[in-house]
Structure 1
Amino acid sequence: MKLKFAALILGCSLAATATAQDVSTISQQEVTRIVSTLSADNMEGRASFTPGIDKAAAFIQSEFKRIGLQPLPGEDDLLQTFGMYRVSPKELEAKLQKTRISPDHIFAITDKKELEWKQKDKQQIIAIGENDDFRKVLPTVMNNQEQDVLVLVHPKHTDMFERYKHYMDRGSVKKQLDSNSSSKVFILTDQLSPKKYKIEIENKVEQLQLTNVAGMIEGKRKDEYVVFSGHYDHIGIQEAVEGDSIANGADDDAAGTTAMMLLADYYKQQPQPERTLLFVAFTAEEMGGFGSKHFSEQLNPDQIVAMFNIEMVGKPSKFGPNSAYLTGFERSNLGPLMQKRLEGTTYSIHPDPYPEQNLFYRSDNATLARLGVPAHTISSVQIDQDKTYHTVKDELSQLNMEHLTNMIRAIALASEGVVNGEDTPTRVDKSQVR
């Protein structure tokens, strides 16, 4: 009996050690290698439609091949490529009364290659006057889908106008163009009620490609999917600050993409999972989540059991060491299931402490949550205090590598129940997701 009891204790001890060793295979050295590669200057900030993001996609693809991931169901390889349209301004001309308007004071929101308006065409005219609230008037403009609108903006709102113009001059991106849709033209001027106007706009319309990088570990239950994801795009080249113009996106979201890749490596080293695991690096999150939207159209959402989206996990959270939070915590019971798996460890997961920031809707999880999937984002960034978000200062030197490594280990432990089929989170109520 004593020998049997001793053997049992030894067996349990070895099992516990094995489990610890499995998680410890997620090494800080490997984390540093991958996140430093993705956030390097030669990736040029990984903006969509640039050589930098193509280089990042090639790197992620090579890592997925090294790990041994298979293409997703219905795909021939690890690159999930799809077409988009980009409409960007080529020529902007406007005249109010007899005054010619500088192109710097014009921008348009349109799907059309050319616009030519005169007062006889009777576009709706909306004036945003000196005492008006720009933000409150804007929804009225955008919600008018039936009629072309000319928006005349008083110079008092120059800062807000220039912010929108800067964004629109980069070009609008859409899955499909609708030549019959309404257009909006914004002009910065003190002439808010001109009797005559003439608007001429010519746009450059391009059909371009975007690419998700996605791989799979097939489970015993082939048609039950668990998604691990992060977006690998960022905002590219920006206005230089102290000689630096590259927005490297180390935390946003090279850190999350690195976590996803290390989890793929970790799970590939384990026995075959009960459920099929999908690992996805999404493109174009910064431009409106086009990568996750395309991904969601390739699968039956009812077969997706859960989505662990990982975003900005390179810095410690407000809850202390080894902690993170889950956006939309109350929308399913995935959070409590993760918490239960982390009991007795040094890791913890918490409800989102920044509900006013609407973080649940600001990453790729929202696309699948709208389809009923228990899709949440794991993050640790103190978003209310972070000074590097969407700046050229989001660099590797700002990351805490020990924390990032521990976050990946924590997600590996917290997701175990869903992966092995013991835990099945409740679905998100689609009617409660806007």
Structure 2
Amino acid sequence: MKKFLLGFLAIGFWAQAQVKPIIQKSEIVRIETTLASDNMQGRQIFSAGIDSASAFIEKEFTKIGLQYYGDLKSYRQDFKAKGKSANNVIGMLPGKSKPNEYVVFSAHYDHLGIVDYGDDKVYNGANDDASGTTAVIALARYFKELNNNERTIVFVAFTGEEVGGYGSKYFTKNINPDAVVAMFNIEMIGTESKWERNSAYITGFEKSDFGTILQKNLKGTNFNFYEDPYPSEHLFYRSDNATLAALGVPAHTISTSKMDSEPNYHQLSDEFTTLDLDNMTEIIKAIALSSESIISGKDTPSRVEKL
């Protein structure tokens, strides 16, 4: 009887250990509402608001237990832009068997700041791109708890996207592009796509088999990734994936933004109350699931043609 009980407990413990961590809507709401709050003053680069946002992301990375990236002594990657101080926020999970192969999850945490007129003065940037930054933080926690990444995962929140992509350009100069296996750049996932819920599109879908791999990993679910439906907008080279993509990295942006009819895009009305947080949570879950064969080293996306 004692041996049976011990065996039962051992099986139960093993089963419990195999349960995947859950991406909780409550956590998505907590992070999103903080980043998109008036207290962040629109998160404009070179402002007190962007400093507050950076400090919040650094605190989240600390709680998760991410390691510092490369030779950095903190989660801040400091640099100069337009002669002023700025910083990305970066954390990482070293790969277990392929530590020199990198998978990057990214979003930009800056936005447009404040105006000095009217009742609503803050460009909250809830969708653009607090939603993507929220996803990066949630995914960092998920993969830390999962604790089975064979490749190194780098989580980066870029600054300066809204004024010329300064953060991603600096990051690209300080990483070996040949070592980057894939980049999941996440931009504006807080609203439903043109295909409504449980869907998103991937910019530059045709430029590598990145999207095909992601969709294969979602077999049996009701989530679908689609090709970018806005080719005239040239979105593949309009976000923080562009600098690494130009060097051949399968670096793609995942988005749901309806670029032909997004009423709150770059408006003061881009606030937390306009987002579909249930759908956003499901999108983040889908990104996590779809990336697993790349993170495990099973799949390696084809390279993008260099510019």
TM-score normalised according to structure 2 size:
0.93
Which of 63, 88, 94 lines up with 1:212 in the alignment? 88
Q: Which runs of 4+ in 1 moved over 4 A?
A: none
1:234 aligns with 2:231: no
1:319 aligns with 2:192: no
Letter matched to residue 100 of structure 2: D
Letter matched to residue 250 of structure 2: P
Provide the residue aligned with 1:225 in structure 2: 102
- CA distance, structure 2, for counterparts of residue 343 and residue 321 of structure 1: 17
Q: Residues 21-74 of structure 1, C-alpha deviation per residue, up to 9 Å, x if partnerless?
A: 525x10000000000000000100000000000000000000000000011112
Which of 53, 57, 60 lines up with 2:57 in the alignment? 60
- The structure with the largest alpha-carbon Rg is 1
Letter matched to residue 173 of structure 2: E
- Any idea what SS the aligned residue of 1:58 has? helix
- CA distance, structure 2, for counterparts of residue 80 and residue 349 of structure 1: 32
Letter matched to residue 234 of structure 1: H
Letter matched to residue 249 of structure 1: G
TM-score normalised according to structure 1 size:
0.66
Instruction: Quote the offset at 1:18 in angstroms.
Output: 7.9
- CA distance, structure 2, for counterparts of residue 356 and residue 239 of structure 1: 34
Provide the residue aligned with 1:185 in structure 2: none
- CA distance, structure 2, for counterparts of residue 84 and residue 333 of structure 1: 34
Whether contact under 8 Å (2:198, 2:283) holds in the other structure is yes
Letter matched to residue 372 of structure 1: G
Whether contact under 8 Å (2:75, 2:90) holds in the other structure is yes
1:297 aligns with 2:156: no
Q: Residues 237-265 of structure 1, C-alpha deviation per residue, up to 9 Å, x if partnerless?
A: 13645x10110000000000000110000
Q: Which runs of 5 or more residues in structure 1 are unaligned? A: 1-10, 86-206
1:414 aligns with 2:286: no
Which of 366, 376, 390 lines up with 2:242 in the alignment? 366
Q: Residues 205-261 of structure 1, C-alpha deviation per residue, up to 9 Å, x if partnerless?
A: xx31010000000002111000000000000013645x1011000000000000011
Letter matched to residue 52 of structure 2: K
Provide the residue aligned with 1:282 in structure 2: 158
Letter matched to residue 321 of structure 1: R
- Any idea what SS the aligned residue of 1:363 has? coil
1:389 aligns with 2:270: no
Q: Residues 111-140 of structure 1, C-alpha deviation per residue, up to 9 Å, x if partnerless?
A: xxxxxxxxxxxxxxxxxxxxxxxxxxxxxx
1:425 aligns with 2:307: no
Whether contact under 8 Å (1:238, 1:392) holds in the other structure is no
- CA distance, structure 2, for counterparts of residue 389 and residue 254 of structure 1: 13
- Any idea what SS the aligned residue of 2:278 has? helix
What value does the CA root-mean-square deviation take over the aligned residues? 1.5
Whether contact under 8 Å (1:236, 1:246) holds in the other structure is yes
Which of 110, 114, 132 lines up with 1:256 in the alignment? 132
Instruction: Quote the offset at 1:272 in angstroms.
Output: 3.2
Provide the residue aligned with 1:157 in structure 2: none
Whether contact under 8 Å (1:218, 1:272) holds in the other structure is no
Letter matched to residue 225 of structure 1: Y
Which of 279, 289, 295 lines up with 1:403 in the alignment? 279
Instruction: Quote the offset at 1:318 in angstroms.
Output: 1.1
- Any idea what SS the aligned residue of 1:319 has? coil
Instruction: Quote the offset at 1:271 in angstroms.
Output: 2.4
- CA distance, structure 2, for counterparts of residue 348 and residue 230 of structure 1: 21
Whether contact under 8 Å (2:148, 2:296) holds in the other structure is no
- Any idea what SS the aligned residue of 1:22 has? coil
Specify which structure has the higher proportion of strand.
1
Letter matched to residue 26 of structure 2: Q
Provide the residue aligned with 1:22 in structure 2: 20
Provide the residue aligned with 1:33 in structure 2: 30
- Any idea what SS the aligned residue of 2:252 has? strand
Q: Which runs of 5 or more residues in structure 2 are unaligned? A: 1-10
- CA distance, structure 1, for counterparts of residue 117 and residue 212 of structure 2: 44
Specify which structure has the higher proportion of helix.
2
Match runs of 1:375-386 below 5 Å:
375-386=251-262
Instruction: Quote the offset at 1:84 in angstroms.
Output: 2.2
- CA distance, structure 2, for counterparts of residue 77 and residue 227 of structure 1: 18
Which of 345, 348, 363 lines up with 2:224 in the alignment? 348
Identity of aligned residues (%): 52
- CA distance, structure 2, for counterparts of residue 310 and residue 48 of structure 1: 19
- How many pairs are equivalent? 294
- Any idea what SS the aligned residue of 1:246 has? coil
Whether contact under 8 Å (1:247, 1:393) holds in the other structure is yes
Which of 110, 133, 146 lines up with 1:270 in the alignment? 146
Whether contact under 8 Å (1:223, 1:276) holds in the other structure is yes
